Copies of this chain bind each other. A is one copy, B any other.
Amino acid sequence: MSHLSREACLALDEADPLRDRRDLFDLPEGIIYLDGNSLGVLPRAVSARLAQVVAEEWGRGLIRSWNTAGWIDLPVRVGSRIAPLIGAHADEVIACDSTSVNLFKLAAGALALRPDRKVIVTEPGNFPSDLYILQGLSDLRPDLEIRVVPRDLLVQALDDTVALLLLTQVHYKTGEVHDMAALTEGAHAVGALTLWDLSHSTGALPVDLTRAKVDLAVGCGYKYLNGGPGAPSFTYVARRHQEGFRSPLTGWMGHAQPFAFVDDYRPGAGMARLLCGTPQILGMAALEAALSAFDGVDMAVVRDKSIVLGNQFLSLVAERCGGDLVPACPADGRLRGSQICLRHPSGYAIMQALIARGVIGDFRAPDILRFGFTPLYTRHVDVWDAVEHLVQVMSSGAWRDPRFAAVAAVT
């Protein structure tokens, strides 16, 4: 294990091919932000664009802006910009609603594509919404069986009663990465479909839905895509399933002719049928502007840097923090998302003490400290400085201060 110095980190930053990307973001002074996996930082392009949407497009253009400013095309346009980040064709992705709402559309739609099957397989500890949405769906479809299977038994749990395998590619808590292609192949071998939640992978690592032959996917706009708090989600349906796909959330914007105002629903062409209500234009415009930070970026370069940052963080913690902080993520960077997770019984208080020092990660119950690395703006020196703060918090016992003990509403 090498002793990485702060100077070496600065030299790595100097040589970083993504170095200039950091200037695209409006980073607060005095903060080391390691929570882009929860809420990405503000891209500079967003402020100006949003001011324009409000003052000009809404303020001056008013209702006309649905046409003249292209609001009506925003869900398709944003989707087509996300597509290359996930190895999809432009016409396979559309942006709208929240990740949870889109999970519902896709899970219900998958059951409709496999009408003689009643089982959805997923794993315990999946992101809560992925599990909860299935539970809500089963209230409407009492014949639905939700088969919750630990990850090492997933393949064995697949049989010809299974309609859908629903998994999150990168685990929100531990950062573990599923082998998307192998699991999709396993599902297809029994005639099942796959639905991948890409919330913690899109923008953090290369995703290739086409190569992995994924059927359905959903992802988040406000994490590594930096679309802002509560940004629209995106949803993917492989071309081969689009014509037969039926969303249960048949709002007017998903109609073949929304402005014909007829009484009978007829699904729109392609991904348009995934739309439901009127799209949230402010959030959609912010997300579109945010995506410009990825223009010309090679996701393989992002991934390489992400792995290096994570490895450095783990090494420095092992060297300098003693044994109390136990890694809860894979040591092999290739098996890990763009986050490091450490376990400690007082993890909540330790994270609060770090945040008080300006090192912002987050905490996931019961005992996990999460540190996210967003290679477009996280530097090697940020890793070094964050661990230095962690060393000081641990060695000083600062986290035992009672003010760090209370659990806040959102952590």
Verify if A54 is at the interface (C-beta below 8 Å from B). yes
A129: nearest chain-B partner, CB-CB = B252
* Binary B-proximity of A258-281 (CB < 8 A = 1, otherwise 0): 111111110000000000111111
Q: A107: shortest Cβ distance to chain B, in Å?
A: 11
Q: Which residues of B contact A50 (CB under 8 A)?
A: 50, 54, 282
A410-B59 in contact (CB<8A): no
Contacting chain B: which of A6-14, A78-86, A96-104? A96-104
Which residues of A in the span 14-60 have a Cβ within 8 Å of any Cβ on B?
A: 26, 28, 31, 33, 35, 38-39, 41-42, 46-47, 50-51, 54-55, 58-60
Max chain B C-beta neighbours (<10 A), residue from A99, A148, A279, A282: A282
B132-A261 in contact (CB<8A): no
A29: nearest chain-B partner, CB-CB = B60
A26-B101 in contact (CB<8A): no
Max chain B C-beta neighbours (<10 A), residue from A54, A233, A247, A286: A54
Q: Which residues of B contact A63 (CB under 8 A)?
A: 35, 38-39, 360, 362
A62-B259 in contact (CB<8A): no
A54-B42 in contact (CB<8A): yes
Q: Number of A residues whose C-beta is below 8 Å from B?
A: 96
Distance of A253 Cα from B276 Cα, bound (Å): 20
Q: Which residues of B contact A252 (CB under 8 A)?
A: 100, 127-129, 132
Contacting chain B: which of A133-141, A160-168, A187-195, A207-215? A133-141
Asked whether A260 and B97 contact (CB < 8 A) given A251-B133, A280-B283, A410-B72, the answer is no
Asked whether A230 and B279 contact (CB < 8 A) given A62-B33, A101-B101, A112-B139, the answer is yes
Distance of A276 Cα from B246 Cα, bound (Å): 21
A58-B229 in contact (CB<8A): yes
A39: nearest chain-B partner, CB-CB = B63
Residue among B59, B135, B408 making CB contact with A67, cutoff 8 Å: B408
A255-B132 in contact (CB<8A): yes
Distance of A140 Cα from B140 Cα, bound (Å): 6
Distance of A100 Cα from B128 Cα, bound (Å): 24
Q: A267: shortest Cβ distance to chain B, in Å?
A: 10
Q: Which residues of B contact A248 (CB under 8 A)?
A: 104, 136-137, 139-140
Asked whether A278 and B360 contact (CB < 8 A) given A131-B265, A140-B140, the answer is no
B139-A141 in contact (CB<8A): no
Q: Which residues of B contact A196 (CB under 8 A)?
A: none
Q: A247: shortest Cβ distance to chain B, in Å?
A: 7
Distance of A71 Cα from B228 Cα, bound (Å): 12
Distance of A262 Cα from B41 Cα, bound (Å): 28
A259-B411 in contact (CB<8A): yes
Asked whether A128 and B60 contact (CB < 8 A) given A100-B252, A100-B277, the answer is no
Distance of A68 Cα from B77 Cα, bound (Å): 33
Verify if A371 is at the interface (C-beta below 8 Å from B). no
Distance of A31 Cα from B39 Cα, bound (Å): 40
Residue among B67, B108, B364 making CB contact with A140, cutoff 8 Å: B108
Sampled A-B contacts (15; CB under 8 Å): A39-B63, A72-B410, A98-B276, A101-B101, A101-B277, A108-B140, A129-B277, A132-B250, A132-B255, A132-B265, A137-B248, A230-B277, A230-B279, A230-B282, A280-B283
Given contacts A131-B264, A136-B250, 16 further A-B contacts (CB under 8 A): A35-B63, A47-B55, A51-B51, A54-B228, A58-B229, A62-B360, A98-B251, A100-B253, A104-B249, A126-B263, A128-B262, A133-B250, A133-B251, A139-B248, A148-B263, A230-B282
